[in-house]
Amino acid sequence: MNFVRVFLVGLLVSFLGSLPLGTLNIAAMQIAIGQGIQSAMLFSLGSLLAEMIYVRLSLVAMDWVRKQKLLLKLLDWLTVLIVTALSLSSFYTAAQSEPAPNPVLALSMPKVVLGFLMSALNPVQIPFWFGWSAVLFSRKIIVPDRVQYYFYILGIGSGTFLGNCVFIFGGQYVAYRIENNQQLLNWIIGGVFAGTALLQLYKILRKKDTFQQIEEKATRS
């Protein structure tokens, strides 16, 4: 019964954490609109695989992760560059007279690989899962047990996939409703990416980057 509870906790936390606008769920939505639901699903599977790996690290190797200050800062800057590129390519797509896919999201690589790489280079989820894992350990909802870890991670993967499905199918619905004005949707998506990039840059400059967030959560736990 504990395994079921751990699975459901992981699913709920991950699902709710996937609902706020972010780089990956907006990218999945844009892929669904421009390239179809199957491509978006494959992208989501790749992204949740990287997330599950990060969660596994947060459970057993966070002390090592906390020491990788240079790596975490590099990932923060890579996130800014990637999201900026997504923003510019969305604006470029919106400016075209004929509907066209986002050049970045249309790169000639399997969508599973693209999703994995974008998720792996997105360090925002590291402090999120570090904090939640610390809380669940302190409340003894999760105990150091390999089987429990598997159920927890499986629940997280399921929750992330369901959260992405909200954007994938929601994006398809929105695209259908505004079929004659998809440029507007691309302008909006580009604006969301631009806002995300500026927020990430602000955190870095204010020294509220991934490394600092992990240190703060470690101190509290």
Choice between 46 and 33, residue whose per-residue pLDDT is larger: 46
Query: Do residues 40 and 28 touch, judged by C-beta distance below 8 A?
Result: yes
Mean pLDDT computed over 191-198: 80
Flag the least confident range among 40-54, 82-96, 160-174. Answer: 82-96
Q: Which is more confident, 200 or 119?
A: 119
Across the chain, mean pLDDT equals: 78
Q: Taking Cα atoms as reference points, which of 188, 194, 190, 36 lies closest to residue 111? A: 36
- The residue ranges of every structural domain in the chain are 2-220
- Does the pLDDT of residue 221 top 60, yes or no? no
* This model's pTM is above 0.95: no
Give yes or no for residue 177 having a pLDDT over 80: no
Q: What is the pLDDT of residue 88?
A: 84
pLDDT at residue 31 is higher than 90? no
Determine the pLDDT at residue 197: 78
pLDDT value at residue 45: 94
pLDDT at 170: 83
Average pLDDT over every residue of 183-198: 78
Maximum CA extent, the chain: 57
Q: Is the pLDDT of residue 207 over 80?
A: no
Give residue 200's pLDDT band: very low, low, confident or very high (50, 70, 90). Answer: confident
- R_g of the chain, CA atoms, integer Å: 18
Q: What is the mean pLDDT of residues 111-131?
A: 81
Long-range contacts of 49-52 (CB under 8 A, 24+ apart): 49/112, 49/115, 49/116, 49/119, 49/157, 50/115, 50/116, 50/117, 50/119, 50/120, 51/14, 51/119, 51/125, 51/129, 51/156, 51/157, 51/160, 52/153, 52/156, 52/157
Across 58-62, average pLDDT:
70
Is residue 104 within 8 Å of 85, Cβ to Cβ? yes
